[in-house]
């Protein structure tokens, strides 16, 4: 299934393929790759590595794959966002991260809202995410995107948003 870039007022979310994933995971930019100075960071490597493993086992994951977050103003890759597998029972989990130089500008929430729209367009009714208890910025990002905290073990907070497929 062809998947196009997702665009927001300030960002482009580009669905990566395994070749781009290998470059990101190996921290080896190729001609045409425009990366922020601190891209990729360790969180990018973890997310992309999981995407590559899942793709190797199950094939193309799109549209429920991984997306490179690019800032529209300068065309630089600043992070990643994606689904942690295919939807099951109407729900799917997401994860995201930004390089340190791009944090604090609302980019993660903007990207997350775009990903939620995509999920709703493909029939997903619930999206899940988790974050550590100490990651206040991520908690605020999730809440800004419409998630609510549903559970906690004291170390990890679980969040969920119910999507309106008619929106």
Model pLDDT, residue 4: 87
**Predicted TM-score of the model (pTM):** 0.94
- Domain map of the chain by residue range? 6-162
Question: Is residue 150 helix, strand or coil?
Answer: strand
**Cβ proximity of 16 and 62 under 8 Å:** no
> Residue 152 has what DSSP assignment?
E
Centroid of chain to Cα 142: 12
Model pLDDT, residue 63: 95
Model pLDDT, residue 22: 97
Model pLDDT, residue 27: 96
6-162 has which fold?
A: Aminopeptidase (3.40.630)
User: Along the 167 residues of the chain, how does pLDDT read in single tens digits?
Assistant: 567 899 999 999 999 999 999 999 999 999 999 999 999 999 999 999 999 999 999 999 999 999 999 999 999 999 999 999 999 999 999 999 999 999 999 999 999 999 999 999 999 999 999 999 999 999 999 999 999 999 999 999 999 999 986 54
Beta bridge partners of 95: 82
Both tokens assigned to 105: 């500008």
First-to-last alpha carbon distance for the chain, in angstroms, is: 22
Model pLDDT, residue 165: 61
């Amino acid at each position: 299934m062809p998947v196009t870039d997702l665009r927001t007022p300030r960002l482009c979310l580009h669905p990566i393929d395994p070749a781009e994933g290998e470059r990101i995971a190996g921290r080896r930019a190729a001609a045409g790759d425009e990366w922020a100075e601190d891209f990729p960071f360790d969180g990018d490597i973890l997310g992309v590595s999981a995407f590559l493993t899942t793709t190797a086992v199950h094939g193309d994951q799109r549209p429920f794959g991984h997306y490179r977050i690019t800032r529209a103003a300068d065309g630089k890759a600043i992070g990643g966002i994606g689904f942690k597998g295919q939807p099951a029972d109407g729900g799917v989990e997401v994860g995201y991260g930004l390089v340190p130089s791009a944090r604090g500008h609302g980019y993660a929430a903007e990207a997350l809202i775009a990903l939620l729209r995509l999920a709703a367009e493909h029939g997903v009714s619930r999206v899940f995410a988790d974050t550590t208890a100490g990651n206040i910025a991520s908690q605020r990002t999730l809440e800004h995107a419409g998630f609510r905290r549903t559970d906690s073990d004291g170390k990890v907070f679980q969040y969920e948003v119910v999507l309106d497929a008619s929106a």
